[in-house]
Amino acid sequence: MTRFYTPLTLLPTRGRWILRLAQHAVLSAARGMGLWRLIGLGARIFRNWSDCPVIGPDGKPFWIDLRKGGFAYVTTGWCTAEIEPFISTLPSDAIVLDIGANIGVWTRLLSAQCTAGHVYAFEPSPTTFRRLKKNCASRHNVTCVQCALVAKNGMALFSGEEVDPKLRSIQNAAGGSTVEVATRRLDDWAREKGITRIDFVKIDVEGFEEDVLMPSLELLERFRPTLCFEFVPEFASTRSSYGGTNLIPALSRIGYQIRRLDKEGRAFADFQASEDWTNDYLASFPGGPIMGTFSSSEQIRL
């Protein structure tokens, strides 16, 4: 399975040697050794580290912020191995929702696959949204939507930029400053935009997966899209307004078959904890793409 490690050829000249040494040290030791803090400090000195180009998972220039977790892309790669095989099975005319698009890693892979289709990328954070738009500016089949998909329409407070992107939330559970963002229900957004087809939905919203999907079960049952979602019940229980225990049973009730992905892109019906598991799940209706022809007891190789 190909795993992309980010070449440093496009990184800004100033400070490149520091990044090369840090990358080598992290890869050799297989741990961070506090170098993330060093890179954060360096980003204050080298201004172009806050918006610097690297080679993206699609082999083309991609803009990252080394102050906000971007160093992970430089050292450990894009970590797309578990989802690349699945994305390659999507039809070229697929209509896709990338919910929690962040800076557009998945968005661009989906865009490259669905050349005759369209990708709607949702991201509420203002600064992250600007980088998402920059990374997708050349993609004719991508629409970036600046809002959070949750259970209620309106406005909400979202974690500020000093909070780790992996910990940001509508409820601002990580503390710190906040910024006001627009919120929409998925089913209302789809109706307003005249969406008549959805083939695939990717969701990574840091514990709010239930708030995105539970109010829109009727939409999912009608369009029957394949879902790929990150879900950590313990994490969701502190954030989701549905308690963190309702999503998988609710999807099963409306007909979804659900599998858990391991690190090699294989999906299993057995959800028992294993060091090989990711927190990512695939769900589809019987007869649908990917999992429709497999029984619940079988291992599925994507």
- Domain chopping of the chain, boundaries: 16-76, 84-301
Question: Residue 274 — pLDDT band, cuts 50, 70, 90?
Answer: low
Q: Say how far apart CA 42 and CA 47 lie, in whole Å.
A: 9
Q: Say how far apart CA 50 and CA 296 lie, in whole Å.
A: 46
Residues 239-264 have a mean pLDDT of 87
Domain 84-301: give its CATH code.
3.40.50.150
pLDDT for residue 74:
79
Under 8 Å between Cβ of 278 and 251: no
pTM of the model: 0.85
For the record, the structure tokens of 36 come out as 């993330």
pLDDT for residue 114:
96
Residues 2-12 have a mean pLDDT of 59
Contacts of 64 (CB under 8 A, 6+ apart): 52, 54, 70, 73, 74, 103, 131
121-159 pLDDT tens trace? 999 989 899 999 999 999 999 999 999 998 889 988 876
pLDDT for residue 195:
96
- Lowest pLDDT segment from 59-68, 79-88, 144-153, 177-186: 79-88
Q: Say how far apart CA 191 and CA 103 lie, in whole Å.
A: 26
Query: Cα–Cα–Cα angle for 276, 279, 284, nearest 5°?
Result: 105
Q: Say how far apart CA 134 and CA 139 lie, in whole Å.
A: 10
For the record, the structure tokens of 206 come out as 């840091």
Residues 89-107 have a mean pLDDT of 94
For the record, the structure tokens of 208 come out as 């709010």
